Structure 1
Amino acid sequence: MKKLFLILATLTFTFSFSQQTDFPKIRKYRISYLNEKIQETSGLSILNEKLFTFNDSGNTPEIFELDKTSGEIINVLKINGKNKDWEALTNDGNNFYIGDFGNNSGTRRDLEIYKVPFENNSLKNDSLKIISFEYPEQTEFIPKNLSTDFDAEAMIYLNGKIHIFTKEWSAKSTTHYSIDPEISEKQKAEKIESFKTNFIVTDASYFDKKLYLIGYTKKTEVFLEIFNEAESGMFFKEKPEHYYLGSALSIGQIEGIAVDETGVYISGEKFHSPLGGAKQSLYFIPKGKLKH
């Protein structure tokens, strides 16, 4: 994922550099640079007031607990599974859900979500379950690197269901699907609604009846949109709040977001191109400080 984005960023940013005049939107809210062990932080989740992250595809199958004020690693939780392409992390208050459904080329037929109980600050790997699914609208699996609309890196848990928000490379939209975590056999994800974001969505968070979607464009612009829950489990009926957060060249490749009553946590992967770059970072925007 990362290398593909870097190539696109290098090619496109040259033509848009003059328009990028406001790099440090959230840079001032950086808590710290993250440990070298998590250069590819690909999601965030808050459980029992603790902050967790993980690395994406090809890395070791483990979750890192981070200190909220320093970004330091407090604990490492190992998963009895394979990190084929982990891209999203959420929880229901008792279990972690890890989305192994990264699909940049659109060819995967083994989309999965790990469900792992979390008790006494440790994972119960002996109770790990795998939730398998497919997109019923996807009828072909021909490689379409960075042009498929059946990729995903964002999910939340709400009302007993897992809600996935797709990363649509071609349409620059997101489609909201739901999955039943209690079904053991492979299931068809249920399409709920769609929204034209004009950026690719890389993570999601839900708090206080609001959905937070974060992502970026090929020009390295990072955006956040906040949707009101107009109806139970429905978010795209009203126009969202729209925020420009800066450029990946100064804040990193933004891949994680988690929200609680204090504010918004955001994480970014290490980013490098001939035009600039940024180290892997953790940010915290206090409640009320988001600005358009």
Structure 2
Amino acid sequence: MNKFFLLILMFISLGFSAQQDYNWFKINKYRSAVLNDSIGENSGLDFFNNRLFTINDSGNSSEIFEISKETGKIDKVFKTDLINKDWEAITSDSTSLYIGDFGNNVGTRKDLIIYKIPFDSALVAPKSTDTQNISFYYPEQKDFIPRNINNNFDAEAMIFLHGKIHVFTKEWTSKSTTHYTIDPNIEENQPAQKIETYRTGYVVTDAAFFDRKLYLIGYTKKAEVFLTVFFESESGLFFNVAPKKYYLGSVTKVGQIEGIAVNQEGIYLTGEKFQRSIIKVRPYLYLIPATNLK
């Protein structure tokens, strides 16, 4: 009986603690598919040649999955010989996929890396032998004492734009995100270049860019899921103009949203499976049509 009342109180607190300056836009009705359990811990989503790709995060294989936009079913699995220490983001340019192995919940990593994986013209298989390792570090991080989900140098979001990789941090303590750029042409370990910072109020778990707009997705420790849409006011700059903000629902209803990809059809979202006590949410694919999010 006590657990029941605690659960009720939790739902009440979730309903009233959503940030007041966000528009409410519940995504339950935009659920389009249940994802296969083999990508139940998906983390990151990206369109590459108009095909949808995802990956799993730490503790899983180093495979890249192509999934159907309509059904969420796995169309192809691309095996790599890479190490998945903590894959958290995927993006692309015109010829290659980029995998961000920079998950850093504890804040101790000194081996942050992004893999650049060329694909052949038919998009049949990745050329693992040609994979480029792009190593980087945050010059601002001086302290590497373990602080699990209590540091500002974690990351789960990146895009490729204007010839550079743009990383958006997952800042557990400041509830902000810092925009860094990384040069994909530098082979030695490089300092990430700090560009701008924005206080989101939640931890950022993925990013997408389409039609001069940057989309950031994430959630709070109270299990609230948020989306923020920024306009590119200058080349490669996003935080100078007030964004549009949306509250999408509770993790306990929509899942732990960790993937976002956008094209002319709309906004695609994917969530990890979520289970706490008696609450269980399956991994879902969502599509918000382009005309529905104003």
Please confirm whether the aligned pair reaches a TM-score higher than 0.5, indicating the same fold: yes
CA shift digits 1:7-26 (9 cap, x unpaired): xxx9x946714527999811
C-alpha separation in 1, matches of 2:102 and 2:31? 29
CA shift digits 1:199-218 (9 cap, x unpaired): 00000000010000000001
The normalised TM-score by structure 1 is: 0.93
Query: Could you tell me which residue of structure 1 aligns to residue 242 of structure 2?
Result: 239
Q: How many aligned residue pairs are there?
A: 281
C-alpha separation in 1, matches of 2:112 and 2:25? 36
**What secondary structure is seen at the aligned counterpart in 2 of 1:123?**
coil
Is the 1:253–1:271 contact (alpha carbons within 8 Å) kept by the matching residues of 2? yes
C-alpha separation in 1, matches of 2:66 and 2:28? 22
1:81: how far off?
0.5
**What secondary structure is seen at the aligned counterpart in 1 of 2:119?**
strand
User: Which residue of 213, 218, 240 corresponds with 2:216?
Assistant: 213
Mapped pair 1:188 → 2:191? yes
**What secondary structure is seen at the aligned counterpart in 2 of 1:70?**
coil
Is the 1:24–1:250 contact (alpha carbons within 8 Å) kept by the matching residues of 2? no
**What secondary structure is seen at the aligned counterpart in 2 of 1:191?**
strand
Cα gap change, 1:282/1:145 in structure 2, threshold over 3 Å: closer, same or farther? same
Is the 1:226–1:242 contact (alpha carbons within 8 Å) kept by the matching residues of 2? yes
Cα gap change, 1:13/1:130 in structure 2, threshold over 3 Å: closer, same or farther? farther
C-alpha separation in 2, matches of 1:24 and 1:286? 13
CA shift digits 1:86-117 (9 cap, x unpaired): 00000002100000000001000000000000
Mapped pair 1:72 → 2:73? yes
C-alpha separation in 1, matches of 2:24 and 2:37? 24
C-alpha separation in 2, matches of 1:203 and 1:234? 17
1:242: how far off?
0.3
User: Which residue of 133, 138, 146 corresponds with 1:135?
Assistant: 138
C-alpha separation in 2, matches of 1:20 and 1:76? 40
Which amino acid letter does the alignment assign opposite residue 72 of structure 1?
K
Aligned pairs for 1:264-279 (under 5 A) are 264-274=267-277, 276-279=279-282
Mapped pair 1:19 → 2:22? no
C-alpha separation in 1, matches of 2:224 and 2:278? 14
Is the 1:23–1:247 contact (alpha carbons within 8 Å) kept by the matching residues of 2? no
C-alpha separation in 2, matches of 1:275 and 1:201? 26
C-alpha separation in 1, matches of 2:15 and 2:53? 37
C-alpha separation in 1, matches of 2:77 and 2:172? 33
C-alpha separation in 1, matches of 2:247 and 2:102? 27
Query: Could you tell me which residue of structure 1 aligns to residue 63 of structure 2?
Result: 62
C-alpha separation in 1, matches of 2:172 and 2:13? 19
Is the 2:181–2:195 contact (alpha carbons within 8 Å) kept by the matching residues of 1? yes
C-alpha separation in 1, matches of 2:214 and 2:135? 24
Unaligned runs of 5+ in 2: 1-6
Query: Could you tell me which residue of structure 2 aligns to residue 6 of structure 1?
Result: none
User: Which residue of 117, 137, 147 corresponds with 2:150?
Assistant: 147
C-alpha separation in 2, matches of 1:151 and 1:123? 27
Is the 2:14–2:223 contact (alpha carbons within 8 Å) kept by the matching residues of 1? no
Query: Could you tell me which residue of structure 2 aligns to residue 41 of structure 1?
Result: 42
Mapped pair 1:99 → 2:96? no
- Structure 1's consecutive aligned runs of 4 or more residues displaced over 6 angstroms after TM superposition are 20-24
User: Which residue of 279, 283, 287 corresponds with 1:284?
Assistant: 287
Which amino acid letter does the alignment assign opposite residue 46 of structure 2?
S
C-alpha separation in 2, matches of 1:269 and 1:14? 20
Cα RMSD, aligned residues only? 1.8
